[in-house]
């Protein structure tokens, strides 16, 4: 069975420079080897713009300038092919001169009135494609492929709407039927036909042009007439993109579109698609593919009757900019249900295109979008059309919002599943984008909304990220670059590529701040260089940072400080729609009323607040406890060594290391706070115990926790670190004697927390140094390990134990990173 024709269309960007032209010629030879082909070509490079300029010059009477432009057009053609093919392009200049001779004759006549007519203008502009067909045919012949230029005016019969003509299919079909037999015979002889795009002719022979995307329209019509198997549009991109790549770095080509989606995109102004191009393909069932001339190995975008069947993802996000929204509000009930139709008819009568329209539920108000350039004219038309109702006060005068952007989610397959609109608007709301108007068709093929122009990039990125059209993007503002923050930066740098490749997660460091300075970049900061960049950062303005962070997809504030007062920062973040991940225990140990206020702000904002590392570093202590409570278990006792630092010290002194040396070693290893007394005082462990108790609903404050320091209180009064260590050295012998006493009793020193939510005298929480017997779970701890044992109704005989490394910047940072990743995972698919 003979393979059907394959129609290839090459745009001006594919022909107007040497390298794309060489690639185009290679593609033609490869496709020709597979079966019969027909080419459709646009004008080379900027030739059409040059001819528009020449027409304007001639209309002014400057025919010398017009002829000079013809010189430039000829030179572009000759130079492009010569640079692409070298000496094999000999003789091309004569062909070019022959092709442009009639154009020179028009300008040489010096008739200003003639060149000012619409039909004359189309005649002049037609020379771009006519010259291109001659040049491409000549270039093919120079490379050994027999080729013939075909003027589409011989078969494309149009109406007489010059500059935007419509092809009349019945007479065009007859002519194509007559010519196809001739072309098929020529194809058998190895001849490739190169057709002019963009142009046609009226029945009486006057040249017309087909308007925007006219060459694609020509290719679709030719394919229908030839009964082609496919149309391929070669251009300078690898297909329809999931979003504007100038707005979304992660945008990529859409693999598959349905005819309906393509029509939707064409109606939304996507330049590479046009409704007229799609109609012949829909009527004939011929698929179209959009491919990149310079990357022919890319599969591109296929458009056919089926489209994508992936109900998990939409097709793409579009953004039509430089628009205006015109709003007319009505009062109470509607006897004006037809105002939309009246306004639409009035605008159409004066050739003002409406790109978007939505009507109030009772019909007594409308909002519509027009090009910003048409806003003033459209507002005046609407005002005149509705003047009686406006005069009576039943309708308000039109209000114009300009500039605005129409953001559209195109999702034919996904549109048949629930909550697509919810996710769309939730994504916009999460980043603070105000939707001025919206609409969704009954087919759910597309959801469109109007947003202020300055919100365009934020809106498109947010929706693109929310629907996981590329890797999910998570943007982190990190507070603190000390032991934990510094380790987190290292881990983000080391894990980023693995997260991208294995988990489709683009984890970005958007900003870094310490107590004085900050650095921020919406495009992301290299974590490996963040501390270096911070040295030259701007003065810290936390609200300004939060305002910038909230505009990014999945914004997360990460607190790796031990600063006081961070609860107010969290609340300001939540109010802006920002999630919080924190290793800072202090906000969770606030007085009950302040803590309640903090969690109310979390609930109001519907954001996430994750704080697993506040108790067990990277150990899943809080999540384990929450799961026990969620599943209805009753917790009777919580006991544990909650401080990895004090666990490390207990181990070291138990094996004979002097206390002062053990504390110095812990400080050097990064286990302690900058001043070790903050650990030895037990307050840090008390906060952890209180956090766990409150997860059980225990209503206690930090002052209610019984705290006994690891060392006598008087040793903790030294503000100077050196003086503190000197005092510890004086205390070494006394502490060693205490350890010996415990050893003599068969006990081991441990610093334990104990939580009894239902004690005989009410709930109680304590953290104290204590000697425990050899069979106690705490005696199994090594180094800086921590453990928590949960005794519950279900785990009464053998408590549920969580044990592992409980101190150190690296493990705590790993816990913080795990919280960020868990947060991002929980947001997927919402």
What's the CA dihedral at 239, 240, 246, 247 to 10 degrees? Answer: -140
Same domain for 633 and 600, yes or no, is: no
Which residue from 470, 487, 465 is spatially nearest to 478, judged by alpha carbons?
Answer: 487
The sign of the CA dihedral 528, 530, 531, 533 is positive
Which residue from 255, 274, 263, 297 is spatially nearest to 197, judged by alpha carbons?
Answer: 274
Please check whether residue 93 lies inside any domain of the structure: no
Residue 438: alpha-carbon gap to chain centroid: 20
Please check whether residue 14 lies inside any domain of the structure: yes
Tokens of 465: 């990220």
Cite the DSSP H helix spans in 437-551: 456-466, 483-503, 530-534, 542-549
pLDDT, tens digit, for every residue of 132-147? 999 999 999 999 999 9
Q: Name the pairing type of β-strands 505-513 and 472-479.
A: parallel
Q: Are the beta carbons of 42 and 15 closer than 8 angstroms?
A: yes
Give the pLDDT score at 1: 45
pLDDT, tens digit, for every residue of 523-553? 899 999 999 999 999 999 999 999 999 888 8
Cite the DSSP H helix spans in 606-669: 613-616, 621-630, 644-654, 659-668
Instruction: Say which CATH number the domain at 404 has.
Output: 3.30.2130.10
Same domain for 750 and 800, yes or no, is: yes
Which residue from 72, 63, 150 is spatially nearest to 108, judged by alpha carbons?
Answer: 63
Crossing angle between the packed helical segments 721-744 and 644-654, to the nearest 10 degrees: 60
Please check whether residue 566 lies inside any domain of the structure: yes
Tell me the pLDDT band of 444, cut-offs 50, 70 and 90.
low
Residue 314: alpha-carbon gap to chain centroid: 13
Q: Among 236, 262, 287, which residue terminates a domain?
A: 236
Neighbouring C-beta atoms of residue 279, cutoff 10 Å = 17
Query: Which residues constitute the domain of residue 570?
Result: 472-613+816-827
For residue 304, the SS3 value is strand
Q: Are the beta carbons of 294 and 19 closer than 8 angstroms?
A: yes
Same domain for 573 and 714, yes or no, is: no
Cite the DSSP H helix spans in 89-206: 92-108, 112-115, 118-142, 169-188
The DSSP H or E segment spanning 672 is: none
Please check whether residue 457 lies inside any domain of the structure: yes
For residue 17, the SS3 value is coil
The alpha carbons of the chain give a radius of gyration, in whole angstroms, of: 37
Residue 777 has pLDDT above 90, yes or no: no
Tokens of 94: 């004569």
Same domain for 652 and 681, yes or no, is: yes
Same domain for 364 and 419, yes or no, is: yes
Residue 424 has pLDDT above 60, yes or no: yes
CB-neighbour burial class of residue 441 (10 A; exposed 0-12, middle 13-18, buried 19+): exposed
Same domain for 506 and 450, yes or no, is: no
Same domain for 643 and 660, yes or no, is: yes
Tokens of 544: 């300004």
Average confidence score pLDDT of the chain: 90
Longest dimension (CA), the chain: 119
Neighbouring C-beta atoms of residue 637, cutoff 10 Å = 16
Instruction: Say which CATH number the domain at 176 has.
Output: 3.40.1160.10
Same domain for 535 and 514, yes or no, is: yes
Q: Name the pairing type of β-strands 579-582 and 366-371.
A: unpaired
pLDDT, tens digit, for every residue of 672-713? 888 899 889 999 899 999 999 999 999 999 999 999 999 999
Tokens of 190: 């190895």
As a whole number of Å, the end-to-end CA separation of the chain is 50
Residue that has been written with the tokens 């982190």 in this structure: 476
Same domain for 652 and 711, yes or no, is: yes
Helix, strand, coil percentages (3-state) for the chain, rounded to 5, are: 45, 20, 30
Please check whether residue 709 lies inside any domain of the structure: yes
Same domain for 37 and 176, yes or no, is: yes
pLDDT, tens digit, for every residue of 735-759? 999 999 999 999 999 999 999 998 8
Residue 471 has pLDDT above 80, yes or no: no
Q: Does residue 91 come out as left (phi exceeding 0), alpha (psi in the -120 to 50 range) or beta?
A: left
Q: Name the pairing type of β-strands 435-440 and 446-452.
A: antiparallel
Tell me the pLDDT band of 501, cut-offs 50, 70 and 90.
confident
Higher pLDDT, 73 or 782: 73
Instruction: Say which CATH number the domain at 705 has.
Output: 3.30.360.10
pLDDT, tens digit, for every residue of 27-71? 999 999 999 999 999 999 999 999 999 999 999 999 999 999 999
What is the domain count for the chain? 4
* From 379-388, 462-471, 600-609, 809-818, the region with the lowest mean pLDDT: 462-471
Residue 262 has pLDDT above 70, yes or no: yes
Q: Are the beta carbons of 21 and 42 closer than 8 angstroms?
A: no
Please check whether residue 64 lies inside any domain of the structure: no
> Any idea which residues carry the catalytic annotation?
688
Same domain for 10 and 156, yes or no, is: yes
Instruction: Say which CATH number the domain at 522 has.
Output: 3.40.50.720
| Distance, CA of 302 to CA of 287 (rounded, Å) | 7
Give the pLDDT score at 545: 97
Please check whether residue 224 lies inside any domain of the structure: yes
pLDDT, tens digit, for every residue of 559-617? 999 999 999 999 999 998 899 999 999 999 999 999 999 999 999 888 899 999 999 88
Give the pLDDT score at 334: 45
Q: Does residue 433 come out as left (phi exceeding 0), alpha (psi in the -120 to 50 range) or beta?
A: beta
Q: Among 466, 492, 523, which residue terminates a domain?
A: 466
Is the bond preceding residue 403 a cis peptide, omega within 30 degrees? Answer: yes
Same domain for 609 and 662, yes or no, is: no
Tokens of 166: 């419509």
| Distance, CA of 680 to CA of 678 (rounded, Å) | 6
| Distance, CA of 819 to CA of 825 (rounded, Å) | 10
Residue that has been written with the tokens 């489209």 in this structure: 307
Could you tell me where the beta strands, DSSP code E, fall in 460-616? Answer: 472-479, 505-513, 517-525, 538-539, 555-559, 579-582, 609-610
Please check whether residue 388 lies inside any domain of the structure: yes
Task: Collect all residues with Cβ–Cβ distance below 8 Å to 352 and sequence separation of at least 6.
Answer: 370, 374, 377, 378, 381
- For 303, half-sphere exposure in the C-beta direction (CA atoms, 13 angstrom radius) is 29
Which residue from 641, 574, 640 is spatially nearest to 610, judged by alpha carbons?
Answer: 574
Q: Among 174, 206, 236, which residue terminates a domain?
A: 236
């Amino acid at each position: 069975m003979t393979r059907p024709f394959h129609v290839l269309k090459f745009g001006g960007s594919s022909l107007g420079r040497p390298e794309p032209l060489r690639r185009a010629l290679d593609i033609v030879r490869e496709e020709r080897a597979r079966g019969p082909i027909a080419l459709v070509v646009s004008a080379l490079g900027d030739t059409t713009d040059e001819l528009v300029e020449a027409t304007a010059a001639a209309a002014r009477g400057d025919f010398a300038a017009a002829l000079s432009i013809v010189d430039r057009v000829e030179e572009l053609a000759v130079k492009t092919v010569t640079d692409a093919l070298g000496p094999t392009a000999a003789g091309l200049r004569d062909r070019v001169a022959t092709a442009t001779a009639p154009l020179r004759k028009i300008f040489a006549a010096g008739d200003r009135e003639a060149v000012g007519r619409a039909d004359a203008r189309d005649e002049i502009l037609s020379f771009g494609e006519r010259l291109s067909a001659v040049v491409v045919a000549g270039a093919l012949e120079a490379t050994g492929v027999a080729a013939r230029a075909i003027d589409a005016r011989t078969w494309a019969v149009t109406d007489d709407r010059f500059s935007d003509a419509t092809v009349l299919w019945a007479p065009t079909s007859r002519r194509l039927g007559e010519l196809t037999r001739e072309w098929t015979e020529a194809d058998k002889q190895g001849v490739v036909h190169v057709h002019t795009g963009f142009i046609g002719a009226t029945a009486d022979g006057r040249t017309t042009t087909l308007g925007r995307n006219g060459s694609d329209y020509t290719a679709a019509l030719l394919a229908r007439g030839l009964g082609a198997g496919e149309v391929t549009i070669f251009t300078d991109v690898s297909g329809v993109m999931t979003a504007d790549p100038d707005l979304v770095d992660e945008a990529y080509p859409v693999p598959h579109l349905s005819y309906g989606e393509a029509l939707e995109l064409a109606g939304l102004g996507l330049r590479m698609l046009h409704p007229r191009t799609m109609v012949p393909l829909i009527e004939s069932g011929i698929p179209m593919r959009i491919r990149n001339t310079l990357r022919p190995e890319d599969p591109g975008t296929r458009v056919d009757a089926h489209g994508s069947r992936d109900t998990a993802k939409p097709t793409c996000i579009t953004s039509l900019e430089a628009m205006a929204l015109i709003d007319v509000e009505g009062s109470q009930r509607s006897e004006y249900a037809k105002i939309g139709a009246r306004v639409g008819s009035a605008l159409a009568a004066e050739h003002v295109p409406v790109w978007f329209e939505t009507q109030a539920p009772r019909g007594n108000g409308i909002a519509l979008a027009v090009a910003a350039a048409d806003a003033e004219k459209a507002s005046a038309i609407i005002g005149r059309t509705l003047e009686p109702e406006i005069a009576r006060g039943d309708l308000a005068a039109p209000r114009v919002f300009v500039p605005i952007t129409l953001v559209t989610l195109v999702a034919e397959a996904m549109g048949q599943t629930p909550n697509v609109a919810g996710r769309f608007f939730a994504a916009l709301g999460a980043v603070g984008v105000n939707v001025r108007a919206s609409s969704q068709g009954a087919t759910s093929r597309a959801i469109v909304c109007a947003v202020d122009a300055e919100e365009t990039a934020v809106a498109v990125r947010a929706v693109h990220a929310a629907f996981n059209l590329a890797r999910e993007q998570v943007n982190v503002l990190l507070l603190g670059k000390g032991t934990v923050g510094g380790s987190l930066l290292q881990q983000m740098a080391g894990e980023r590529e693995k997260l991208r490749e294995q988990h489709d997660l683009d984890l970005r460091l958007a900003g870094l701040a310490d107590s004085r300075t900050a650095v921020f970049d919406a495009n992301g900061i290299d974590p490996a260089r963040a501390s270096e960049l911070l040295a030259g950062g701007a003065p810290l303005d936390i609200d300004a940072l939060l305002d910038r962070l909230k505009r990014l997809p999945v914004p997360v504030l990460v607190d790796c400080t031990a600063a006081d007062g961070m609860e107010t920062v969290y609340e300001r973040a939540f109010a802006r729609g920002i999630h919080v991940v924190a290793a800072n225990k202090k906000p969770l140990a606030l007085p009950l009323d302040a803590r309640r206020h903090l969690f109310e702000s979390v609930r109001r904002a519907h954001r996430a607040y994750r704080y697993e590392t506040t108790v067990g570093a990277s150990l899943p202590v809080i999540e384990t406890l929450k799961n026990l409570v969620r599943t209805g278990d009753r917790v009777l006792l919580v006991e544990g060594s909650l401080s990895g630092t004090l666990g490390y010290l207990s181990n070291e002194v138990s094996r004979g290391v002097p206390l002062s040396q053990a504390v110095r070693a812990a400080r050097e290893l990064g286990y302690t706070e900058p001043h070790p007394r903050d650990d030895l005082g037990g307050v840090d462990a008390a906060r952890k115990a209180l956090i766990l108790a409150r997860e059980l609903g225990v209503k206690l404050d930090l002052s209610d926790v019984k705290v006994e320091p690891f060392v006598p209180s008087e040793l903790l009064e030294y503000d100077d670190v050196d003086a503190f260590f000197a005092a510890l050295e004086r205390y070494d012998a006394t502490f060693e004697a205490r350890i010996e006493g415990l050893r003599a009793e068969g006990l081991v020193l441990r610093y334990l927390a104990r939580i009894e939510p239902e004690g005989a005298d009410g709930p109680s929480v304590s953290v104290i140094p204590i000697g425990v017997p050899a069979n106690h779970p705490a005696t199994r701890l090594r180094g800086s390990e921590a453990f928590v044992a949960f005794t519950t109704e279900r785990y009464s005989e053998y408590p549920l134990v969580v044990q592992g490394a409980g101190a150190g910047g690296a493990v705590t940072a790993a816990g913080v990173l795990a919280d960020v990743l868990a947060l991002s995972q929980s947001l997927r698919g919402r």
